[in-house]
Amino acid sequence: MNQPDTEDWDLEIKPQAGLLDFKLNDLWHYRDLLILLVRRDFVSFYKQTILGPIWFFVQPVITIIFYTFVFGNLAGIPTDGIPKPLFYLGGTILWNYFADCLTKTSTVFKDNSALMSKVYFPRLIMPLSVVVSNLVRFTVQLVLFIAIAVFYYAKGSPVTINAVALLFPFLLLLIAAQGLGLGMIISAITTKYRDLAFVVTFGVPLLMYATTVIYPLSEAEAKFGKYSWLIKFNPMTGIIETFRYGFLGRGSFSFELLGYCTTATAILLLLGVVIFNKAEKTFVDTV
């Protein structure tokens, strides 16, 4: 009996794939797995905690109280006329989303090595699940920010919302792409060099001080002068400044700065995909 030369398969596993292959087809077919991983992350993180998801609110509230007391009152760092709690909360929720995406993606190979070595699924599902699960936390904290902003609006504080706020979905996409891209780069490297994970643990909080989370860009330009470009070099700076300008009417917004952030983010994401795709072929042998 003659066999056909070709057969139709639902899934074909190939030993080689393009380094720039995002595997979007596979990601769509495995969308149910993505949802399950997001649910797992959410449940496991708050399982057996007394407050549960209430920590979504408690953490930023404690942070802005601390920042207001230390940086606002003791250090006397100006906030461009924005009420201190609102200023710090706006920068904090954006930075926390980026930092969570970065730190959790950077250990995705190590944390899921047992699962990845047993069954096939597009490996990009893992870092994507981190980005989506952290988005849940960010959304809850954004509601808190909006509630506090409405309170200050009602009190007559000199803060206003403008058309730049319409860029918010794009800003959120940039943050997610930055955390995902940089996290995948670090994740691929940590399969061979575990020390990098420790560098990320204490390096990311330090990197926050090179971003306009606790001070406005105008203050950095006034204090550091020609060296303020180091602050602008951080791609998160333009995103945070644009967010504050759009929702609070204060900040240093420019399309030039936002364009730089977009370009830097695209480069990080492309590098992340290339390095991640290259590492996933051999990570089982090194993890």
Statement: residue 97 has pLDDT above 90: yes
Statement: residue 171 has pLDDT above 90: yes
Say whether pTM exceeds 0.85. no
Statement: residue 53 has pLDDT above 90: no
Q: What is the mean pLDDT of the chain?
A: 82
* Residue 81 backbone zone (phi > 0: left; psi -120 to 50: alpha; other: beta): left
pLDDT value of residue 45: 67
Distance CA 96, CA 268 (A): 19
Closest-CA residue to 98 (of 184, 177, 210)? 177
Q: Tell me the mean pLDDT in the region 59-86.
A: 88
CA-based torsion, 247, 250, 256, 262: positive or negative? negative
pLDDT value of residue 267: 93
Statement: residue 242 has pLDDT above 90: yes
Distance CA 134, CA 124 (A): 16
- What's the one-letter identity of residue 259? G
- Per-residue burial over 230-258, b if 16 or more Cβ lie within 10 Å, else e, is ebbebbbbbbbbbbbbbbbbbbbbeeebb
pLDDT value of residue 37: 81
From the number of C-beta atoms within 10 Å of its C-beta (0-12, 13-18, 19+), residue 6 rates as exposed
Statement: residue 62 has pLDDT above 60: yes
Statement: residue 58 has pLDDT above 70: yes
Lowest mean pLDDT among 74-88, 132-146, 222-236: 222-236
Distance CA 47, CA 28 (A): 29
pLDDT value of residue 253: 87
Q: Which residue has the tokens 């990601």?
A: 27
Distance CA 149, CA 160 (A): 9
Statement: residue 146 has pLDDT above 80: yes
> Quick one: what percent of the chain has pLDDT higher than 90?
23
| Cβ-contact 165, 84 below 8 angstroms | no
Q: Where are the chain's structural domains?
A: 24-38+52-286
**Eight-state DSSP code of residue 93:** H
